[in-house]
Amino acid sequence: MSYTLQTQGADRLAELFGAMTREVDRAERNALNAAATEFKRGFVKDISAGTGLKKKLVRARIRVSRAKGAASEARIIPDSQGLPITEYTWRPEPAGHPTRARILIRWFGGWKVAAGFVNPESARPLPMKTITSRGRLKKPVLAHGVSVAAAFKYVRDDGRLDRYAARLAEIFEEKLEDQINRRA
């Protein structure tokens, strides 16, 4: 899953400004790359606020594929690998047995159940995985929670799309004007 940024109608706007094709292509790439970076910042801020993850961690898990050469689109791509529970704000919830508790992680206005368990009776309770794809583990392993891609999907909405489309148009106009001014 990713967020793809593309421009439409750039040639019509270029005719209004009297720009050359080369200037339009460069302005389009620059606008897409600048917009992708700016929009990534917005996603990082919203995901961090909703989940309690550190911004540095979220920033590292969202990649920007920049517009280059003939490719006139930029993409914001979140990582789909789950994060260790210890990176989240988490708490145990009793699950019927004194040595077992469910793991709850902070999630956009509430709490979400994560895979794994916690032994609240332990001296140092840590969230642990129950079973792996290869069967039961001989040595306990830290549990993993929800990925940044799931949080990315949660914060992506139609209102954001409209705002970003308008902002991309503004950035494109600025970059095209810069390219035209360089000519003089």
In the sheet with 3-6, reading across from the earlier edge strand, the strands are: 3-6, 73-78, 62-65
pLDDT at 58 over 90: yes
How many helices (H) and strands (E) in the chain? 5, 10
pLDDT band for 15, please (50, 70, 90 cuts): low
Whole-number pLDDT of residue 157: 77
Q: Per-residue pLDDT tens for 76-125?
A: 999 999 999 999 999 999 988 888 899 999 999 899 998 888 988 888 88
Q: How many CB atoms lie within 10 A of CB 28?
A: 23
Decide the pairing of beta strands 135-136 and 144-147. Answer: unpaired
Tell me if 152 sits within 8 A of 47, measured CB to CB.
Answer: yes
Instruction: Give the dihedral of Cα atoms 47, 48, 50, 53; nearest 10 deg.
Output: 120
- Compute the Cα dihedral for 160, 73, 34, 14 and give only its sign: negative
Interval 47-56: pLDDT, tens: 999 999 999 9
pLDDT number for residue 32: 92
Query: What pLDDT sits at residue 28?
Result: 87
Flag whether pLDDT at 9 surpasses 70: no
**What pLDDT is attached to residue 119?**
87
Please report the pLDDT score of residue 183 as a whole number: 73
pLDDT value for 165: 86
What are the pLDDT digits (tens) for 161-170? 888 888 988 9
Closest CA to 180 of 32, 67, 27: 27
Does residue 10 register a pLDDT over 80? no
Instruction: Encode burial over 119-154: b for 16+ CB neighbours within 10 A, e otherwise.
Output: beeeeeeebbbeeeeeeeeeeeeebbbbbbbbbbee
Closest CA to 38 of 137, 175, 184: 175
Question: With 90 as the cut, is the pLDDT of residue 16 above it?
Answer: no
pLDDT digits over 115-159, tens only? 888 988 888 888 888 766 666 656 778 888 899 999 999 898 767
Which among 40, 50, 45 has a CA at the least distance from the CA of 3?
40
